[in-house]
Structure 1
Amino acid sequence: MDALVPLASASCEVERLHNELLSTIFMFAVQQYNRETDSSTTSPMTISHICHRWRQVALETGDLWSNIVLTFPPSNQQLSRTQTWLLRSTTYPLEILLDFRDPDWDWDEETHQFRGSDMEAVLRLLVPTASRWRSIELLTDTWAPIFAFLLHTRSISGSLAQLKSLHLARCNAYFARKGQIFEPAALGQYLPLFGGEEGVVQRLREVTLTGVHINWLAPPFSNLTKLELKYQAADVMPTVAELTEILVASPNLEVLAIVGCGPRFVSAGPGVSGDPNGPALLGVVRLARLTGFTVGFVDVHDVLQLIALFDLPALCELTLEDVSVSLRHQPPDDVSVLLEWLATSTSRYPLNQLHTLVLRSIHAPCPSFAQLYDACPALHVLRLYDVCDSALEALQHRDEPKIPDILPQLDALFARGKDKGIFFRVVSERGFKQAEFEVSTMIE
């Protein structure tokens, strides 16, 4: 048996490490934490309080302090700590997470404790470091803080030389409901992002706007590799012409997500550009490098118009979600027309090369799922979340020996639902390298 190493001896071994190696170990330790937990903001502080030498190394490692996190409510202590971190991060690029969601919010916009004025106070702290912003993620419940961010960052565009990733979210999915319009109307202006500075917008590579609209063409995004537009009110979504211009200007786009309402096919009012003739004059948008496409819809007929806009020759991961199921208290719609359209449009949606398929809250008869699966012979991963039983039943072996088996390459099945009996029957019959079932918590 090996002798136990005395604690004092182990401590001496650590002391022999060069400062550069110790600094690397600190960075590795911090990066293991989830950015959305308090540990991501306290870990460098903990390291810096272990001993005199560790504190000296930590304070000299500027990158250790470059993840800036502020959460609800932003107390004076948080603001003071953030000021300290900004100083200690020296000249390193900053990853900024501002999560001002209140878990106890009562859905009244007027009573939320984080207001536009609170956002202004946070910006006064952060704006002087704008030249070092590399990514920004801002999560709020209400519109006023988002409006304040758009309004008060209009004059800093010349400083944003390193900004590559932007995620702005008003976390209220109910604005995607059919017929819902934007509120509050008094703050519904189409503000240009960062004052409309073309250079800043063109340097962005990843953009996610959840419940957040901007002046879509002042200037338009370009050179993006990832674009996500989620849970917007229908009247503030970009028009088809605006969305087309953005996509055509981003030939290297790899990930696209449109969840909730799709683009407007007609002009929605004065001052907003649009094409009243719809997509007929626009043709099909070919996204040659797009590998991941997520589409969430509230109306199956609207989503058919949307997906008909695209030609995706490199597609390898497709996600479909019926968003309306979680936004209304009605039985889910039969979306078999969508599944059948995809299964028969393989010239523009090459499902034969699809690696991963994700279906959320999708309901259709068993033959429609079988038709979709038949179009995906190379599928390796299937994820089914809160779908109808038909989606699993369609995976069972076929009795007719002359008919090729369904999804022959499938080796990973993940599902969430109410009844795990069908799942385990399919797994027992088919056998998979990976198979997981999660009991759904959705309220029907």
Structure 2
Amino acid sequence: MPIPDMEVATQARRVDEEIAKQIRLLCDLQTQRNSCSLISRFPTEILAAIFVCSARDYHSTHFGYPIETAPNWVNVSYVCHHWRNVALNCPTLWSYLFITSPRWTEELLARSKQASLKLRANLENLSGGGRDDRRLRFVRRVMNHIERIQELYLFLPDCFKDHFLSSPAPRLQNLMITVGYHQFSALFNGDTPALRTLELSFCPVSWDSFTLHGLTTLNLRFVPSRSQQNMVEFLATLSRVQDLRHLYLENAFASTAGFLSSTEFRSFQKINLPRLSRLLIVAPLSTVIAFVACVNIPSKTELRLDCDFEDGVSLHDYASLFSVLAQRFSTSTSQALSSPTFRSLVIDLTYRPALTFSPLERDCDSFDLVLRQYWGYNTPLKIRVSWFVSDTRNSLDCILGDISTFVPLMDVQSLHVIKPPVLPAIWRSALGQLQDLRCLKLTSGDLPDLAPMLCLTDLTTSEGAEGQGGRTNRNPDRMLAPALEELELCNISFWKRTKKDKCPVDVQALCDSLATRKGSSGQLTIARCFERMRRGRSVQKKRFNMVGHWKNGRFREVEEHEVT
């Protein structure tokens, strides 16, 4: 006799209920089993801290670009029941906002409860359309909670017209805005009492928009020329920021030559920044002079000064910069506080000559390498000045001759020349001025004929050129750069010696000259250099490295190998 449909349905329901009951029982047993594992016995606070670190690392490298799905760190809430409970009960985990769907935005804001928000939004390439509209909606939705935002990094396009930044931000600590020449009428109505780090790039805003008394880091980059501030007004703003530790000013101010010649400058009351530990200025020479002269910079402060060339600048103007710095950095009484004592010099002849000075020994890195990196490496001062010489005077000896009129070179121990000139006469004059030179580094270009200068006997020509009746004096006791102990060549091209060459410039000639330096010892390092040799109408090229030593009139090659 067939079973009625009603009974079948009832029996199926009882079976389903039993299955559900068993599944719940298995889940409970699995949960109990998981609770016995080591990871489940982690204190909840430690597990939550690990989750937050994962979210913070993702957030710091994401740069605010939109994503199609949730970031990987969200998966911690799907691992197990315990992890999910920890994640959902950690509002800070959900305060690291990312651009995604409106539904996810609402969920993130709800899960973060009242935790301080961290927002990175990259809107640089907005062009209209579906995805761009979604990104704008996301930013507008989050900015409605501006009173909760702690970190705000915005990358905005030229055409950006929104003014959603006009509400007070009492929790804001870190603010970075990169914008393409758009004038904000106001930022946060000046109500930013917790602001500690402010970085503005291409962003012409008024200082009246901020409360800066608690600021510790200020970074201004590429302020549009029409919005660059008056130096006196900016210094007045700095005088109220007594906790400032890091100050970076890159192309933020125009020339202040008029201020330097004014009575206001001569009577200016210096301001104090007692906690300043890092200072970077990239500006016209007159602006650098004005800032350094008007601020009492603590002796512990690391300085990076990059002085752009200005029309009408004279050697006296360059001398003014070094005399302003002399009281902090001069150690030689013979200089009478006219200039700091410099032991390292970099001369870059790639385009317009640029000179980089440092008081440290063997500090041969160019300024670009230390513009941002290497803070805290005990580099108290790094100065780069752009130099202008006419085409007929664009040579190493002329530049050294010019700078020696206001910067004594007798203490220079390290010289790095980028794109070195090749004429022997230039090097004879240059090395003659650097008698305490210990380290010589040449980068990028053809090898100068250093052999006649580095050998024991130096040939000097008395009045008149040697081929025009001049008399050649041989002084066996004179040796240029007598203290030289390190010669480094990097990306330099050699020409291999041939029978037709009257003045060969090759590796062997250089090594032979070093072998004559009796009483002197040192190391030759050749890195990523080229040896060229003519074969008929073609030129063959070999790239190689080499290390060698000279000592007591002998040269010994330690290692040489060809680089593929």
Q: Does residue 129 of the first structure (1) align with residue 145 of the second (2)?
A: yes
Residue type of the alignment partner of 1:82: T
Unmatched runs of 5 consecutive residues or more in structure 1: 1-7, 71-76, 106-110, 173-182, 268-275, 325-333, 408-412, 436-444
Aligned pair partner of 1:385 in 368, 371, 381: 368
Aligned pair partner of 1:152 in 120, 143, 164: 164
Cα offsets for 1:90-134 (capped at 9, x unmatched): 2222222112223xx8xxxxx577999888634531134323211
Distance across 1 between alignment mates of 2:447 and 2:316:
28
Unmatched runs of 5 consecutive residues or more in structure 2: 1-32, 332-339, 370-383, 387-394, 397-414, 419-430, 449-485, 491-521, 528-564
Aligned pair partner of 2:172 in 160, 163, 172: 163
Q: Does residue 234 of the first structure (1) align with residue 225 of the second (2)?
A: yes
Residue type of the alignment partner of 1:47: V
Output aligned runs, 1:39-438, within 5 Å.
Answer: 42-70=71-99, 77-102=100-125, 121-142=137-158, 144-145=160-161, 148=162, 151-154=163-166, 156-157=167-168, 160-170=169-179, 188=183, 191-197=185-191, 200=192, 202-218=193-209, 221-262=212-253, 279-280=265-266, 282-297=268-283, 299-321=284-306, 342-347=321-326, 350=329, 369=356, 372-373=357-358, 376-377=359-360, 382=365, 384-385=367-368, 392-393=416-417, 403=436, 425=488
More strand by share: 2
* Structure 1 residues 424 and 122: alpha-carbon distance in aligned structure 2, compared to 1, 3 A threshold: farther
| CA shift for structure 1 position 250 | 0.6
* Structure 1 residues 263 and 288: alpha-carbon distance in aligned structure 2, compared to 1, 3 A threshold: farther
Q: TM-score, normalization: structure 1?
A: 0.62
* Structure 1 residues 244 and 118: alpha-carbon distance in aligned structure 2, compared to 1, 3 A threshold: farther
Distance across 1 between alignment mates of 2:177 and 2:206:
14
Identity between Structure 1 and Structure 2 (%): 16
Distance across 2 between alignment mates of 1:381 and 1:56:
56
Distance across 1 between alignment mates of 2:155 and 2:317:
32
| CA shift for structure 1 position 243 | 0.5
| CA shift for structure 1 position 404 | 7.8
Distance across 2 between alignment mates of 1:358 and 1:23:
52
Distance across 1 between alignment mates of 2:264 and 2:129:
42
Distance across 1 between alignment mates of 2:347 and 2:145:
41
Superposition RMSD in Å: 5.3
Distance across 1 between alignment mates of 2:247 and 2:139:
30
Distance across 2 between alignment mates of 1:115 and 1:221:
36
Distance across 1 between alignment mates of 2:176 and 2:329:
30
Larger Rg over CA atoms: 2
Residue type of the alignment partner of 2:281: V
| CA shift for structure 1 position 61 | 1.6
SS at 2:250 equivalent: strand
Q: TM-score, normalization: structure 2?
A: 0.50
SS at 1:203 equivalent: coil
Contact 2:56 2:96 (C-alpha < 8 Å) held by counterparts = no
How many pairs are equivalent? 357
Indicate the larger mover: 380-389 or 80-89: 380-389
SS at 1:12 equivalent: coil
Contact 1:135 1:166 (C-alpha < 8 Å) held by counterparts = yes
Contact 1:26 1:47 (C-alpha < 8 Å) held by counterparts = yes
Cα offsets for 1:198-230 (capped at 9, x unmatched): xx2x43121111111222235663232111111
Distance across 1 between alignment mates of 2:299 and 2:205:
29
Residue type of the alignment partner of 2:170: A
